[in-house]
Chains A and B, each alone.
Chain A
Amino acid sequence: MILKIEGEGADLSALEGETGHSDAFVDRQSRASARTASDGAAAYPFAAIVGQDEMRTALLVAAVDPSVGGVLVLGDRGTGKSTAVRSLAALLPPLEVIEGCAYACDPASGSVCSDCAAHGRDRSRSIGRVPVPMVDLPLGVTEDRVLGGLDLERALAEGVKAFQPGLLARANRGFLYVDEVNLLEDHLVDLLIDVAASGVNIFERDGLSVRHPAKFVLVGSGNPEEGELRPQLLDRFGLAVDVRTPEDIALRVEIVKRRDAYERDRSAFAERFADEQDRIRRRIVDARARLPHVLVPDAVLEASARLCVALGTDGVRGELTLMRAARALAALDGCDEVSMAHARGAAPGALAHRLRRNPLDESGSGVRVARMAGELLGG
């Protein structure tokens, strides 16, 4: 005899009640890292963010249509990148979930985890509401914390082979935020992007075979001064925006003042921006509902394709992202049809990081994209 483990193969029924079992573990992981909208009053209001329009728009687009494939935010430390992501997650309306599901499965959706699928016919499972998850991926995190892994405690204490969901599971239907993504090891970035693109985490290790939904908006931030992201990875983020620290003193002062007001009295501050918060929330909800019905006229598609050809972007990813981002922008504007202006607005974020460039050329390619877009997507 070597091992006495009751193998249960891919059967995830062992996971039932699992969340309660491993609460301590999950709580520890999430302490300080995964803040969710449950403290909605405490999170900094999205509406109170000063400036940074490009970043805010990109985040809104990703919130409306997660299939744009992640947002990369490049810029200095301390420019409010993580604040923006947190506050957006807190702004979004809570999710309906199948209660007790470790992956926050959507009761209205067909694609659920195997656990929920097994219970599919069983209508008795109640439906709960949880805040949109916002998971912070700490640097130096190990692969098994990201992917999940064998539940050690149960393996050792009970001899049961069970899967312990990782951060990807927690991020399902929400945001996964990686601060300083350029300091994260390349293989982890690869892994994150793969899962983000497929929406499924497939785990085949330690004698476990598990697949569970992991649909999340990947948001990475980084400071290019401190080591660049591999071009292959750069290209795989749907949208990329540069954030610059405002050089305008009045804006900077306003940032400081708002922060100060927020720290003094969070609920009063939240109250001050409540109307604006509601307006943005409604805008997102409306845009999501509208999105499937937004038409993209052939003229816009053709012009977009011409733009991509003119800029020399490789592959079709650029065109697809441009179309999706433009459609989300149209939906956010309450339009039923994508206009040239929407495509123009979406072009820099969707394309600038895909240009073949001289790695030593420091001039931003965003300007080039915007100029070309102005020419080719006019009218």
Chain B
Amino acid sequence: MSEARENPADGGAEDVLLATALLAVAGRRIGGVVLGEGTEAGMAEAWLACLGELMPEAAVPMMLPHSASLADIDGSLDLAASLAQGVRVHSPGLAARAAGHVVLMRSAGQASPAWLKRLTDVLLPDEGGGAKLVVACDFACDGPWPGAAILSEALALRLDFTGIDHRTLLAPAGWVEEVKAARERLGTVRIDDEAVEGLVGASVALGVASSRADRQAIQLAKAHAAWRGADVVTPEDAAAAVRFSLAHRARRMPAPPQEVDRGPDDEPAEDMTDQTPPPADDPGTKGDDDDDVTGGGEERPIDATAALLPDSVLEIVARGIKRQGGAQPEARRARDGARTARRGRPIGHRRGDPRRDGALHLLATFERAAPWQALRRKLVGGGDGSGSASRRIIILPDDIRVVRCKIDAPSTVIFAVDASGSSALHRMAEAKGAVELLLSRCYVRRDHVAVVAFGGRDARILLPPTRALARARRALAGLPGGGGTPLASGLSVSHRIALGAQRAGHSCLIVVLTDGRANIDIDGVADRARALADAMQWAKRIAGDGIASVLVDTGARPAAKAADLARALDGRYIPLPHAGAHEIAEAVRAAGG
């Protein structure tokens, strides 16, 4: 697998094709599939065409519009029709219409967790029924967000299209028949207890919590056996199930096998596969992977089962954990913001559709309609003034007003922490301490916090905006120090997060903790002059976008460069030559943090 990524020979495509065939065989039993990394233009279409060939039901999938509101999912009152007919007319929800169909969610990556949760609940109820299969496109999602966990809990497969040419996504000749045969055979495939224990053991070793994942892995192993033409699940089938359905859900690296405590409950795990995994700290993986991994799981009793995981699994796990614990901007919060604007404190009314835009404002609607009643009665013709018809109010869709709401703007505090060598020597501990103190304050105020660290060649988002403070603390604890000072990158990344948060209606504050000695430019090149110019430029952009900021000078003595930067940021400058964590926290609080 690791070669396959550098050299896009068709190892990857073959894998995807096999997973697609298994999906076509197992269908609803495994929930569905997330189209993950590399689902660029054309890829999803090519893959869907391939699935459609293997699975006739998928040829015309039901598209789920991303503008669908929760009311659309459940079905809602068709106001226009209800008004016209004078009786309640109910338009069926997407969920009802999706029953028995292959459902395609194109923009799952932008959806709010609540929306996804509701959808997966109605489309894939635990007791069966619902949609035939759910296909969720998640390519925009490369950061940790609650929605990703919701999708991966519900859908067994996650496909990675990185390095695959979409023209190679063609079902080989004869697969259509083979899938058909496998589907028929699936009901008779047996799985013995040993294989079930192996699969569940792998799930435990990888830190997968959901029991649904266990069940789906078993179904997938059966599907794989059926696909091979066998009627008993073998270790080969189990390994495929682990690779396809458990590895991407992993939340920790399985413990390395050499530390296995040979206990009495030792399982004959070796017969699952003869591949032995590399130690968890594979030199091929990047250093930061290790951070994430150790951050995710505590010390656990080591499982012999870990030994059965083929190394391709370990690679997927490492990537998956990076994806879950890694870092990317959270533009998708914008959607949450748009949604929540429908609720909150009512502050008036506006024209709109109650199905989409919020609750109906009845009084305002009547007020709009009232002056026209006489005229409308004449136009409708029924207005001869007799009977109950005359008492009916004629309301046209144009009259309909919905409640406008205001929610108190939430805020996001972004910490940009200088983790370069010069800072690390002097102030790293104090900066960390200060951020922790500020975090507890943010916790009290329910702020979102994000942590950006810059050091070495570039800046990384240690933590995208979140309210899960425990994660912020873990992110900080793992903050590495050393290397150059890519201040411009730090500012640019913080700026990006701030823009995303602003779009979601948050007010933002960037707290930069640095000594101002930039020496790496925005492109990661060591050039002191360019580095400083770049940093100033990004500082001005932040100021220009109206983002509030505070610069805490963590240098040994106040530096003119840092003060200049604060001016460019149009933010407050706090030199703290001898301050401790408490002083920093106090100063930032006073500055409006």
Residue ranges of A at the interface with B (Cβ–Cβ < 8 Å): 1-4, 24-25, 28-29, 31-32, 42, 75-80, 83, 138-144, 150, 152-153, 155-157, 159, 179-180, 183-187, 206, 223-228, 230, 245, 247, 249-250, 252-253, 255-257, 259-260, 263, 358-360, 362
B126 within 8 A of A: yes
Contact assessment for A152 and B214 in the assembled complex, using a CB-CB cutoff below 8 Å? no
Interface centre among A179, A253, A259 (most CB of B within 10 A): A253
Contact assessment for B343 and A185 in the assembled complex, using a CB-CB cutoff below 8 Å? yes
Contact assessment for B470 and A360 in the assembled complex, using a CB-CB cutoff below 8 Å? yes
Contact assessment for A226 and B362 in the assembled complex, using a CB-CB cutoff below 8 Å? no
User: What's the Cα separation between A140 and B125 when bound, in Å?
Assistant: 18
Nearest A residue to B217, CB-CB: A256
Contact assessment for B366 and A2 in the assembled complex, using a CB-CB cutoff below 8 Å? yes
Q: Kindly list chain B residues whose C-beta atoms are within 8 Å of the C-beta of A4.
A: 391, 393
B300 within 8 A of A: yes
User: What's the Cα separation between A318 and B159 when bound, in Å?
Assistant: 49
Contact assessment for A140 and B467 in the assembled complex, using a CB-CB cutoff below 8 Å? no
Nearest B residue to A25, CB-CB: B88
User: What's the Cα separation between A362 and B469 when bound, in Å?
Assistant: 10
Contact assessment for B209 and A256 in the assembled complex, using a CB-CB cutoff below 8 Å? no
Contact assessment for B392 and A157 in the assembled complex, using a CB-CB cutoff below 8 Å? yes
Contact assessment for B88 and A24 in the assembled complex, using a CB-CB cutoff below 8 Å? yes
User: What's the Cα separation between A157 and B448 when bound, in Å?
Assistant: 46
Q: Kindly list chain B residues whose C-beta atoms are within 8 Å of the C-beta of A358.
A: 440
Contact assessment for B301 and A247 in the assembled complex, using a CB-CB cutoff below 8 Å? yes
Contact of A79 with B215 at beta-carbon distance under 8 Å, contacts A2-B366, A155-B362, A157-B86 already known: no
User: What's the Cα separation between A77 and B76 when bound, in Å?
Assistant: 29
Nearest A residue to B147, CB-CB: A226
Kindly identify which residue among A31, A150, A152, A256 contacts B200, using a CB–CB cutoff of 8 Å. A256
Nearest B residue to A243, CB-CB: B209
- CB of A319, distance to nearest CB on chain B (Å): 25
Contact assessment for B74 and A138 in the assembled complex, using a CB-CB cutoff below 8 Å? yes
Q: Kindly list chain B residues whose C-beta atoms are within 8 Å of the C-beta of A224.
A: 468, 470
Q: Is the interface of B mostly helix, strand, loop or mixed?
A: helix
Contact assessment for B196 and A360 in the assembled complex, using a CB-CB cutoff below 8 Å? no
Q: A139-B118, A358-B440 provided; 9 other pairs, C-beta below 8 A?
A: A1-B373, A2-B367, A78-B212, A79-B210, A138-B118, A150-B362, A256-B218, A259-B215, A359-B469
Taken residue by residue from 89 to 129, chain B's Cβ proximity to chain A (1 for < 8 Å, 0 otherwise) reads as 01001011000000000000000111101100110011110
B204 within 8 A of A: yes
Contact assessment for A140 and B344 in the assembled complex, using a CB-CB cutoff below 8 Å? no
- CB of A202, distance to nearest CB on chain B (Å): 18
Contact assessment for B146 and A183 in the assembled complex, using a CB-CB cutoff below 8 Å? yes
Contact of A255 with B211 at beta-carbon distance under 8 Å, contacts A77-B150, A183-B114, A247-B301 already known: yes
- CB of A314, distance to nearest CB on chain B (Å): 15
Kindly identify which residue among A139, A227, A260, A360 contacts B440, using a CB–CB cutoff of 8 Å. A360
Nearest A residue to B439, CB-CB: A360
User: What's the Cα separation between A269 and B115 when bound, in Å?
Assistant: 34
Contact assessment for A256 and B121 in the assembled complex, using a CB-CB cutoff below 8 Å? no
- CB of B182, distance to nearest CB on chain A (Å): 20
Q: Kindly list chain B residues whose C-beta atoms are within 8 Å of the C-beta of A32.
A: 95, 121-122, 125
**Segment 125-151 of B: residues with Cβ below 8 Å from A:** 125-128, 146, 149-150
Return 15 A-B CB contacts under 8 Å, by A number. A79-B211, A138-B121, A139-B114, A139-B118, A152-B362, A156-B82, A159-B391, A227-B468, A249-B201, A252-B200, A255-B211, A256-B200, A256-B214, A359-B439, A362-B473
Contact assessment for A142 and B468 in the assembled complex, using a CB-CB cutoff below 8 Å? no
- CB of A148, distance to nearest CB on chain B (Å): 13
Q: Kindly list chain B residues whose C-beta atoms are within 8 Å of the C-beta of A152.
A: 77, 82, 88, 360, 362
B260 within 8 A of A: no
Contact of A249 with B197 at beta-carbon distance under 8 Å, contacts A187-B344, A227-B146, A360-B439 already known: yes
Nearest A residue to B203, CB-CB: A252
Contact assessment for A77 and B210 in the assembled complex, using a CB-CB cutoff below 8 Å? yes
Contact assessment for B469 and A360 in the assembled complex, using a CB-CB cutoff below 8 Å? yes
Kindly identify which residue among A42, A78, A179, A183 contacts B210, using a CB–CB cutoff of 8 Å. A78
Contact assessment for A256 and B196 in the assembled complex, using a CB-CB cutoff below 8 Å? yes
Contact assessment for B95 and A255 in the assembled complex, using a CB-CB cutoff below 8 Å? no
Contact assessment for B393 and A83 in the assembled complex, using a CB-CB cutoff below 8 Å? no
Interface centre among A28, A80, A179, A259 (most CB of B within 10 A): A28
User: What's the Cα separation between A78 and B152 when bound, in Å?
Assistant: 11
User: What's the Cα separation between A228 and B446 when bound, in Å?
Assistant: 9
Contact assessment for B214 and A255 in the assembled complex, using a CB-CB cutoff below 8 Å? yes
- CB of B419, distance to nearest CB on chain A (Å): 19
- CB of B346, distance to nearest CB on chain A (Å): 10
Contact assessment for B440 and A76 in the assembled complex, using a CB-CB cutoff below 8 Å? no
Contact of A144 with B359 at beta-carbon distance under 8 Å, contacts A32-B95, A77-B149 already known: yes
Contact assessment for A180 and B466 in the assembled complex, using a CB-CB cutoff below 8 Å? no
Kindly identify which residue among B200, B340, B391, B443 contacts A359, using a CB–CB cutoff of 8 Å. B443
Nearest B residue to A230, CB-CB: B446
B236 within 8 A of A: no
